[in-house]
Amino acid sequence: MDKNKTKKLAKAIATGFYTGYSPFAPGTVGTLIVGIPLFLLLAKVPVSIYGVVCIVLFGIGCKVSDFLEKDSGQDDPSEVVIDEIVGYLISTIGLSVSVAGVVVSFFAFRGFDIVKPWPIRDVEKQLQKGLGIMTDDVIAGLYANILTRLFLDLFFH
């Protein structure tokens, strides 16, 4: 693949197929338009395969977000939303498909990603490049997964 095609592919993946260019809340838009449909697509696969998909997307996300950060000259460019997409997928690991699960995990993930409680903010500052861009959202996704499970168990079971 030539350099121009590689750059276009990296940009498409990093920006969640260009949803990251939304003028309003690109992380939220990327999660809604790419993250939720991807969860719905993967929800019926065994959790082990779902986990492998998350790990692979994390690795790809580190590479493409690092590339876009260098290409744009900005730290953690707002158009990079692969981190939000992977973080949302982590927030839904092991959940069955339900409107409540999709909605609660979405708001829990976006809340943790925006507020960045400990240690998310520290991790974001300490890790650099693509790894830093991706890892804070992974932790937010883990927090959201726990909160979603608690919420669903309390109010829907």
> In this model, does residue 107 exceed pLDDT 90?
yes
Per residue in 41-58, pLDDT (tens digit) is 999 999 999 999 999 999
* pTM to 2 decimal places: 0.96
d(CA 96, CA 98): 6
Q: In this structure, what are the phi and psi dihedrals at residue 116, rounded to the nearest 5 degrees?
A: 55, 65
Per residue in 58-77, pLDDT (tens digit) is 999 999 999 999 999 998 89
Decide: 29 and 106 in contact? Cβ < 8 Å. no
Average pLDDT over residues 1-21: 94
pLDDT computed for residue 157 by the predictor: 76
Strands (E) located in 16-115: none
Per residue in 111-150, pLDDT (tens digit) is 999 999 999 999 988 998 999 999 999 999 999 999 999 9
pLDDT computed for residue 128 by the predictor: 86
Distant-in-sequence, close-in-space partners of 79: CB < 8 Å, separation ≥ 6 = 14, 15, 20, 21, 26, 68, 72
- Residue scoring higher pLDDT (1 or 99): 99
Percent over 70 (pLDDT), the chain: 99
